[in-house]
């Protein structure tokens, strides 16, 4: 239902914390075109970037485009499963359900998975957001059963594409989680299966660059399995213009330089850019204003820092003293030259080897990330909090 209010008052045009749809999607034209082309050609693509750069949004957008071209599309988040068998179940379910009418699900699942006899459950009244169709493999007990099941499930995309005479595109998101399941055997089984599936494109998207890069190393199954896309940040000038134009299109008047200031404060991490824009928009809207400037941005930043204070304080208190000192120095020195004698003296840091292990610990905890030889705090709000609230 469209109410008077919906017509008069545009919604907040900025989205964060979920996959962005067409309207809030900035740039990525070259990446979209390339990924779509590779998937349609049946390539096995690796998509790698640090967290919150926009992998899932890009993948979703490309799959939507492929679906319009009659490609069967399937998307599964590997990290959502708590076990290998759980992953196989959710993957098999997604494959079987791809554009299959509910009336045909049972027969289709039976035909496809004869050899492993799944248990099917149909829920007449599913919870919101839950599927009405679940699939389990209760007979699978030993490691050998699991391996046999995996081979069967990993072969499914090829069989489905052949049976339906359609090309298929499969996205396995948070793919780095696969390494936790079952030593190297999962990688072997999956690689062996996908390489003969000519009609099926795969994108393996992962957000822990070091884990993903290791998986592509010379002694691992996925070595040279397909093209690797390393997703970079969005070009800052373009992103800034995009932000300004979204403010304007929603009836506000951004002061010149606002988009640029947002992108800069967010260290150009897409999630952080959208968060600052979204929250600033809300505050200005609540104030009943149309003009938005850098002052509004700073007022919003102050509010957000206040709201996050407890969370940041807890995170800070979990750090060792050396880690705190290194984190603070990293913020104040813009992430450079942290091992140099000069910086260590200025910030009373311990010996270089201790600085190094503190940095490694901060990286492991995802508090810090590395970009072109420089260390950055992953969350730009946390960076601002450390700069202002710690000593």
Binding positions for ligand ATP, rule: CB under 6 A: 15-20, 24-28, 49, 51-57, 207, 270-271, 274
Beta carbons of 174 and 206 less than 8 angstroms apart: yes
Rank residues 54 and 226 by Cβ distance to ligand ATP and give the closer one: 54
Looking at the Cβ atoms of 47 and 325, the one nearer to Mg ion is 47
**Which residue is listed with tokens 């009609």?**
199
Nearer to Mg ion, 75 or 282 (CB): 75
User: Of 56 and 268, which has the nearer Cβ to Mg ion?
Assistant: 56
Least gap, CB of 271 to Mg ion (angstroms) = 10
Q: How far is the CB of 351 from ligand ATP (least distance, A)?
A: 34
Strands 168-173 and 291-292: unpaired
Please state the φ and ψ torsions of residue 55, each to the nearest 5 degrees: -65, -55
Q: For 226, phi and psi rounded to 5 degrees?
A: 175, 180
383 binds, among ligand ATP, Mg ion, none (CB under 5 to 8 A by kind): none
366 interacts with, out of ligand ATP, Mg ion, none, CB within 5 to 8 A per kind: none
Residue nearest to ligand ATP (CB): 54
Q: Which is nearer to ligand ATP, 23 or 287 (CB)?
A: 23
Burial 336-365 (b: 16+ CB within 10 A, else e): eebeeeebbeebebeeeebbeebbebbeee
E strand residue ranges, 137-252: 168-173, 200-206, 228-230
Residues that bind Mg ion (CB under 5 A): 56
Q: Where are the beta strands (DSSP E) in 14-124?
A: 44-48, 72-77, 119-122
d(CA 300, CA 282): 9
Q: What angle do CA 37, 38, 42 make, to 5 degrees?
A: 115
| DSSP 8-state code for residue 290 | -
Give the one entry of ligand ATP, Mg ion, none that residue 119 binds, where binding means its C-beta sits below a cut-off of 5 to 8 angstroms depending on kind. none
- Cβ of residue 146: shortest distance to ligand ATP, in angstroms? 27
Min dist CB 233 to ligand ATP, Å, is 10
* Burial class of 250 by CB neighbour count within 10 A (0 to 12, 13 to 18, 19+): middle
Q: Which does 25 bind (CB under 5 to 8 A by kind): Mg ion, ligand ATP, none?
A: ligand ATP
Considering CB distances under 5 to 8 angstroms, the limit depending on partner class, which of Mg ion, ligand ATP, none binds residue 268?
none
From ligand ATP, Mg ion, none, which one binds at residue 274 (CB under 5 to 8 Å depending on kind)? ligand ATP
Nearer to ligand ATP, 271 or 312 (CB): 271
Of 155 and 215, which CB lies nearer to ligand ATP in the complex structure?
215
Partner whose footprint covers residue 271, from Mg ion, ligand ATP, none (CB < 5 to 8 Å by kind): ligand ATP
The partner residues of 75 in beta bridges, in order of sequence, read 171
270 binds, among ligand ATP, Mg ion, none (CB under 5 to 8 A by kind): ligand ATP
Sequence-distant (≥ 6) Cβ neighbours of residue 78 within 8 angstroms:
87, 172, 173, 174, 175, 176, 177, 178
User: Rounded distance, CA 320 to CA 329, Å?
Assistant: 14
Name the minimum Å distance from CB 263 to ligand ATP. Answer: 11
Q: Would you say 152 or 174 has its CB closer to ligand ATP? A: 174
Query: Please, what is the minimum distance in Å from the beta carbon of residue 242 to ligand ATP?
Result: 7
């Amino acid at each position: 239902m469209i109410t008077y209010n919906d017509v008069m008052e545009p919604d907040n045009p900025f989205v964060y914390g979920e996959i962005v749809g067409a309207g809030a999607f900035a740039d990525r034209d070259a990446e979209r075109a390339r990924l779509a082309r590779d998937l349609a050609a049946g390539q096995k693509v690796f998509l790698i970037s640090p967290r919150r750069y926009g992998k899932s949004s890009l993948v979703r957008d490309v799959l939507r485009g492929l679906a319009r071209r009659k490609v069967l599309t399937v998307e599964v988040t590997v990290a959502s499963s708590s076990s290998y068998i759980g992953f196989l179940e959710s993957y098999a379910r997604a494959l079987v359900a791809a554009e299959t009418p509910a009336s045909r699900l049972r027969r289709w699942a039976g035909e496809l998975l004869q050899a492993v006899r799944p248990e099917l459950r149909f829920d007449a009244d599913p919870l919101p957001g839950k599927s009405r169709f679940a699939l389990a493999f209760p007979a699978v007990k030993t490691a050998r059963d699991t391996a046999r099941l995996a081979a069967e499930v990993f072969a499914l995309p090829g069989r489905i594409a052949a049976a339906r005479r359609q090309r298929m595109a499969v996205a396995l998101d948070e793919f780095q989680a696969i390494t936790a399941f079952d030593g190297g055997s999962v990688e072997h089984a999956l690689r062996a299966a996908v390489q003969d599936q000519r009609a099926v494109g795969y994108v393996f998207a992962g957000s822990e660059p070091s884990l993903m890069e290791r998986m592509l190393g010379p002694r691992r199954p996925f070595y040279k399995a397909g093209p690797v896309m390393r997703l970079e940040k969005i070009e800052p000038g373009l992103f800034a213009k995009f932000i300004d134009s979204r403010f304007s299109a929603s009836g506000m008047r951004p002061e010149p330089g606002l988009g640029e200031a947002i992108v800069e404060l967010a260290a150009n991490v897409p999630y952080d850019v959208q968060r600052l824009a979204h929250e600033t928009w809300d505050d200005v809207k609540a104030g009943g204003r149309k003009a938005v400037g850098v002052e509004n941005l700073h007022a919003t930043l102050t509010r957000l820092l206040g709201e996050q204070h407890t969370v940041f304080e807890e995170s800070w208190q979990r750090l060792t003293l050396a880690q705190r000192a290194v984190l603070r120095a990293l913020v104040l020195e813009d992430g450079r030259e942290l091992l140099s004698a000069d910086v260590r003296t200025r910030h009373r840091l311990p010996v270089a080897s201790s600085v190094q292990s503190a940095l490694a610990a901060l990286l492991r905890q995802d508090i810090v990330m590395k970009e072109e030889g420089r260390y950055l705090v992953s969350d730009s709000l946390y960076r601002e909090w450390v700069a202002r609230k710690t000593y």
